Amino acid sequence: MYSEFRSIDGIILIDKPYGLSSHETLQKVKGILKIKKMGHTGTLDPLATGMLPMCCGRATKFSQFLMNFKKRYRVIAKLGQKTSTSDSEGQIIHVRPITFTNLQLQKVLKSFHGKIKQIPSMYSAIKYHGHALYKYARQGIVISRKVRDAIIYELKVLGYSYKHKYLELDIICSKGTYIRTLIEDVGEKLNCGAHVISLRRLQVGNYTSFQMIDIKTLNKLVKYNINVLEHILLSVDNAISCFPEVNIVPNVIKNLQNGQKVKTHSGFINQFVRITEGINRRFIGIGKINNINELYSYRLII
């Protein structure tokens, strides 16, 4: 077991358990691994499970990029019932029969593809004056929420049953998509109502579910003095591997560190790029190319 807090750089993909907030999950992992500086990206509600990326040390500089990546969810919805919280924790406030056909279901789901507008649920993890909305909702306080934009890239039916009144969906969406709100809106369009009974995040950007580790397994491995970080810690630049690479010679690094621009021939105009240096292509940070092919630093790790 680790006895002292340490400085570690990298990314860990935690399988968040049901019932814990993202912050509570972070504190547990931080305590187990004794890592000084950690932060999570892409908050999950307590009732959701699945992928919660955690940035350690200098990787926290790049957390905003993880937040911007596409997310993949698997959700099971109960049909014919609308609840006060849009999930199974709330009171049933409306019951309706299920009358839609398979063709109507496909048509409704298709209508949610692309850009959509959402009003987040009061039982979401959005912060208002430093506190999650669901904490206000539990006190009976309603906060005005603005309409937000989201993008649905894929919305596939994995299974449904009229008899058992459930619908299982695979969803790929943009950041800022509220799945419970989406399910409630789908239920309204189907004229039967719906709420979430199970929600699991399976993917963030290029990270997939097989890379996750749950807290119980993590704790067990640490107790047995297994060097678990060797197996689960992802490199800092792993998070932005989808960005094009610009390789620079070592003698211009100081220029970037001092806020100066460096001439390139990359062609990645107005794009974020991964900056590497030398023949070993050591990752040094993220930059951007302006419209005259000059590279300037955005976040450096050195």
Q: Which of 15, 45, 87, 185 is catalytic?
A: 45
3-state SS of 25-81? HHHHHHHHHCECCEEECCCCCCCCEEEEEEEEHHHHHHHHHHHCCCEEEEEEEEECE
178 is in an annotated binding site: yes
Please tell me whether 40 is known to bind a ligand: yes
Give the count of beta carbons closer than 10 Å to the beta carbon of residue 2.
Answer: 14
Q: Which residues of 135-157 are buried (b: 16+ CB within 10 A; e: fewer)?
A: ebbeeeeeeebeeeebebeebee
The answer to whether residues 171 and 112 touch, using CB atoms and an 8 Å cutoff, is no
Q: In the annotation, is 45 catalytic?
A: yes
**N-term to C-term CA, the chain:** 30
Query: What is the C-alpha to C-alpha distance for residues 86 and 293, in angstroms, rounded to an integer?
Result: 49
164 assigned binding-site residue: no
| Contact present, 272 and 296 (Cβ < 8 Å) | no
The residues assigned a catalytic role are 45
In the annotated binding site, the residues are 40, 73, 178, 199
Which residues does the annotation place in the binding site for substrate? 40, 73, 178, 199
